[in-house]
Structure 1
């Protein structure tokens, strides 16, 4: 009799577990369906189009044509070096600015820290336009120079070069490094700094031996995120109008809009997505280890 009761309870438990599983599946189905409709389906269309040359049929010829082109290799190289250089600049500048905000007392430090959060919501083209107003060919800096010297043009003519793109990306993405750093610095035990100072350690040594080791996880997380964002940046390159600066997103735009080469554009887009997804996976791993 007892065994029969236990068996009946086990059956009821399995039935209830099945009902809970079905209920969870039913609740998860709508968001999964929306994700598939608005994200995965367009992505599938892009991948499918990348295997369909203009001549018809299904072929890897679009990949062969794109990989063999000098424009793709140049765009890939430009994208990589700009992303790496921008990330390095953001790490150095973000670390220095975060140090000042977190450890150097000055009026308005909290307001500046809050502004960093607000800055993250700004569109990238807004920063580029601001730099154009200051350093553009007819910007404030060149206008002041020509007004003082009478020269035909000012000396600041770098915004339409790769260096202008680099400056704009560092300016825009540095707060993405500062935000996790400020969070990490807020959890740092200030007693360690006081002890190091009482033992005669100067500021550079305190930064190198006490602060930097604590900041490394946040630096890695912020740097990984900036690297992913720089690889996919389109607005900054477009609005600076940099001559000869063609990144992978710009190449997608050029092939799709200017050349009407949709298979080639889809091939470049697939490559860009694969690189971004790989780096995003790295960012997630680093973020989990950093506790971000």
Structure 2
């Protein structure tokens, strides 16, 4: 009897259990009637109602989604321009510096990005009375972090793309801007979507950089959750986590179904 597959499946099962049992426990205790999240007091939907009535959490959710959407859109614009320059323009003055600037935020600790952003914004506010720390500063710092990830995604897509299509369009008299919008942009659209989703997720999930660059009344959802769990996990946080997990799982499932149907339709 070959025991290698059995050992492999056992290790895989233990690994998945280690990852997902805490998530399932959070979902289960979100329906707990007791105020103490670790003591089961019966099934109840009470905390979902409490969550919907919590203005602080709802404001933080709206603020975080707004910042993430603006960040992702700006990061895609900057990342596309950087990816296009690095993959299509060959050697030009400043190419090495641009490549270094796109790589630095990915390897630099978030604490350093947050601290340097804070010092920059404080200096600018003292010199020009702008920007005041709040949603604007958080968004600018998140754009700095996420644009490099979009650059990597777009650059890898453009590097693997067949350049003969663009060359044929230009040979037929198309202007460079028309080639980009008619030929290049549709071909890299999946990379742009992937970069947008990645930037959105990174911005929505960030705690460290937002803690450095936020101001009064501009706390994001991770900051509010962190401030609450320092005193113990409350059932409202479990309910919020359950909604997020269900929304993510639903989105991933729909994307998987769409990709499966598209793969079946491809001859």
TM-score band, normalised by shorter chain? 0.7 to 0.9
Deviations 1:200-250 (A, max 9, x none): 322211211221111111111221222222222222221213322233322
Match of 1:214 in 2: 187
Deviations 1:139-186 (A, max 9, x none): 3x456x3xxxxxxxx42233x210111111111011121112111111
Give, in whole Å, the separation in 1 of the partners of 2:143 and 2:111. 13
Report the TM-score, using the length of structure 2 for normalisation: 0.81
Q: How many angstroms does 1:285 deviate by? A: 7.5
Match of 2:9 in 1: 28
Q: How many angstroms does 1:30 deviate by? A: 1.6
Aligned residues between the structures: 256
Q: How many angstroms does 1:110 deviate by? A: 6.2
Match of 1:223 in 2: 196
Structure 1: unaligned runs, 5 residues or longer: 1-18, 146-153
Given that residues 251 and 268 in structure 1 are in contact (C-alpha distance below 8 angstroms), is that contact kept between their aligned partners in structure 2? no
Give, in whole Å, the separation in 2 of the partners of 1:287 and 1:176. 23
Which one of the candidate residues 127, 132, 139 is aligned to 1:166?
139
Structure 2: unaligned runs, 5 residues or longer: none
Once the two structures are overlaid, the 10-residue window that deviates more, 175-184 or 98-107, is 98-107
Which one of the candidate residues 157, 164, 185 is aligned to 2:131?
157
- Cα separation, partners in 2 of 1:90 and 1:284, compared to 1, 3 Å: farther
Give, in whole Å, the separation in 2 of the partners of 1:129 and 1:277. 34
Q: How many angstroms does 1:48 deviate by? A: 3.4
Which one of the candidate residues 31, 34, 45 is aligned to 1:51?
31
Give, in whole Å, the separation in 2 of the partners of 1:245 and 1:283. 32
Match of 1:236 in 2: 209
Q: CA RMSD of the aligned region, Å?
A: 3.0
Report the TM-score, using the length of structure 1 for normalisation: 0.75
Given that residues 118 and 212 in structure 2 are in contact (C-alpha distance below 8 angstroms), is that contact kept between their aligned partners in structure 1? no
SS of 1:120's equivalent in the other structure is helix
Which one of the candidate residues 245, 253, 269 is aligned to 2:218?
245
Give, in whole Å, the separation in 2 of the partners of 1:237 and 1:124. 10
Give, in whole Å, the separation in 2 of the partners of 1:251 and 1:269. 13
- Cα separation, partners in 2 of 1:217 and 1:82, compared to 1, 3 Å: same
Greater RCO, CA 8 A, separation 6+: 2
Given that residues 252 and 268 in structure 1 are in contact (C-alpha distance below 8 angstroms), is that contact kept between their aligned partners in structure 2? no
Given that residues 165 and 240 in structure 1 are in contact (C-alpha distance below 8 angstroms), is that contact kept between their aligned partners in structure 2? yes
Once the two structures are overlaid, the 10-residue window that deviates more, 163-172 or 56-65, is 56-65
Deviations 1:78-115 (A, max 9, x none): 12222211111111111112112222231463674476
Deviations 1:241-291 (A, max 9, x none): 332223332222132225x4622222222233333444455677799989x
Give, in whole Å, the separation in 1 of the partners of 2:151 and 2:182. 20
* Mapping 1:93-172, distance limit 5 Å: 93-105=78-90, 106-107=92-93, 109=95, 112-113=98-99, 116-117=102-103, 119-136=105-122, 139=123, 141-142=124-125, 145=127, 154-158=128-132, 160-172=133-145
Give, in whole Å, the separation in 1 of the partners of 2:20 and 2:236. 20
- Cα separation, partners in 2 of 1:92 and 1:86, compared to 1, 3 Å: same
- Cα separation, partners in 2 of 1:230 and 1:275, compared to 1, 3 Å: farther
Deviations 1:45-100 (A, max 9, x none): 32233233327612221221112222232122112222211111111111112112
Give, in whole Å, the separation in 1 of the partners of 2:254 and 2:129. 41
SS of 2:230's equivalent in the other structure is helix
